[in-house]
Chains A and B, each alone.
Chain A
Amino acid sequence: MVRIKDHPILGALEETQEITIFVDGKPVLARAGEPIASALAAQGIRVFRNTANRKEPRGLFCAIGRCTDCMMTVNGIPNIRTCITPVREGMQVETQDGLGRWLNDG
């Protein structure tokens, strides 16, 4: 766990509602309002997708929605930037393979 509970300047981490999301089918606890990427980072999950051709791992890079490195498949929709997409109760997050597949893509 790498959640910053106490901080010399920002103080103690505020209590917030806990939300459960599912990452590749496994339940993960997240803080309401945070982006998917930080919920994953808090669990030590670093690989968010693998590239299409060379199958290389990618993860968080810019954290402000610019670079698209952090894309995952969320609720069946591929290429979602997880660093700027807030968690929602019951959200299904999947490690994305290449460009990903749409849920109803046959």
Chain B
Amino acid sequence: MAKEVDIAVVGAGPAGLMAAIEGARAGAKVLVVDENSSPGGQLFKQIHKFFGSREHRAGIRGFSIGEELLDEAQKLGVEISLDTICWGIFPGPELALLRNDTDFTCRAERIIIATGASENALAFPGWTLPGVMGAGAAQTMINVHRVLPGQKVLMVGSGNVGLIVTYQLLQAGARVAMIVEAMLEIGGYGVHAGKIRRAGVPIRTRHTIISCQGENSVTSATIGRLDEKGQVISGSEETLDVDMVCLAVGLTPMAELLFTLKADFKYVPALGGQLPCHDEDMETSIEGIYVAGDVAGVEEASTAMEEGCLAGLACAESLGLLDSLQAGAEKQKVKKRLQALRSGPFGEHRQDAKEILTREGLIK
């Protein structure tokens, strides 16, 4: 079975859905594939309200945004193929797809890769015990499947994911004993940290997890204070009565498809590691192949949506579905919104990092 479309999108998260919507609005025939059995990527586990201005859908909760995007994509005639993994991209370009043990391919004029990111792990004695899991894993269990995988939690990492998931664990009825953060300062937004503090959960900076204990699953965890060199200060160890340890220690872009295509990469730690270079229109070093969202640099759902928007517009323009004047004006609006999201103390370093990536991306 072989299909043919104008634009094929890999990943039905916020980035992929937005890209599909913009492409379809301009009149392109669009297929979105996602290996999950439900669309939305990470959006449906995000039950907090979004920040930013009205254009960024501030004040709306992640799962409602997910429903809006799906609805819009469907109205525009976007085909969404679930349970479908893209395992390779071949010259053509052609996507190699697998659904329910059936192989098929799809030829596409343009491809947008929006595969997202996966959570980083952290190794310490006892980290493989059941009860230790990614913070995103806990978020999936409580908000999507409505199950608490533990009652008393230690959160490792105070970035936005660590802070948000801590709050959501409290909302789900768990007790969070503490958040430990190895750095000198809390990593995430002050608004989130304030909520956690008001809820009575201590955030200890300059602290880390040393080990966790338990026969068949976690029954306690030991933390300690770090000196300037990042070594545990002896005598500062403390053992906490917890049955769950959540790791919120960053995300890594899932760029495997682009590795296999031999796209140009650049190491940008501020955005999650090895990243595909891309130009201002989200096109990679390989003509006709675009990226959007976390795979192009780990940020947040709002930036992922804007990048998807940009990639969708750029594809439509290069296919001749939008004239360059109209496309130029639309893209400019999106770029402005992206810039607003990447300003201020928490955004500026991402703006700088993105500029490095796009500069490299332009040298084709």
Q: Which A residues form the contact surface with B (CB < 8 A)?
A: 2-4, 7-10, 13, 34-35, 37-38, 41-42, 46-48, 56-67, 69, 83-84, 86
Contacts and interface: CB of A to CB of B under 8 A. Distances in A.
Given A56-B128, A62-B137, 7 more contacts: A2-B150, A4-B172, A10-B146, A60-B130, A60-B149, A62-B134, A62-B136
A48 B128 CA distance: 12
A13 B131 contact: no
B203 to A, nearest CB: 22
Given A4-B173, A41-B141, A47-B130, A9 B61 contact: yes
Given A38-B141, A59-B217, A63-B137, A4 B129 contact: no
Interface in B35-62: 35-37, 47, 61
Given A41-B147, A64-B137, A64-B140, A59 B171 contact: no
Contact of B148 (A2, A9, A63): A2
A8 B140 CA distance: 17
A23 to B, nearest CB: 15
A83 B149 CA distance: 12
Can you list the 3 inter-chain pairs with the closest CB atoms, starting with the nearest?
A: A59-B130, A63-B137, A38-B145
A38 B216 contact: no
Interface of B: 35-37, 47, 61, 118-119, 121, 128-134, 136-138, 140-143, 145-151, 171-173, 216-217
A34 B37 CA distance: 11
A69 B217 CA distance: 14
Contacts of B119: 62
Contacts of B149: 2, 41, 46, 60
A87 to B, nearest CB: 11
A38 B147 contact: yes
* Among A2, A13, A47, A84, residue most surrounded by chain B Cβ atoms (within 10 Å): A2
Contacts of B129: 57
B131 A8 contact: no
Contacts of B132: 61
A46 B131 contact: yes
Contacts of B138: 63
Contacts of A58: 128, 130
Given A38-B141, A47-B216, A61 B133 contact: yes
Contact of A60 (B118, B121, B137): B137
17 contacts: A3-B148, A41-B149, A46-B131, A58-B128, A59-B131, A59-B217, A61-B121, A61-B132, A62-B119, A62-B133, A62-B134, A62-B136, A63-B134, A63-B136, A69-B128, A83-B137, A86-B37
A89 to B, nearest CB: 18
A57 B130 contact: yes
Contacts of B140: 63-64
Contacts of A69: 128
A77 to B, nearest CB: 13
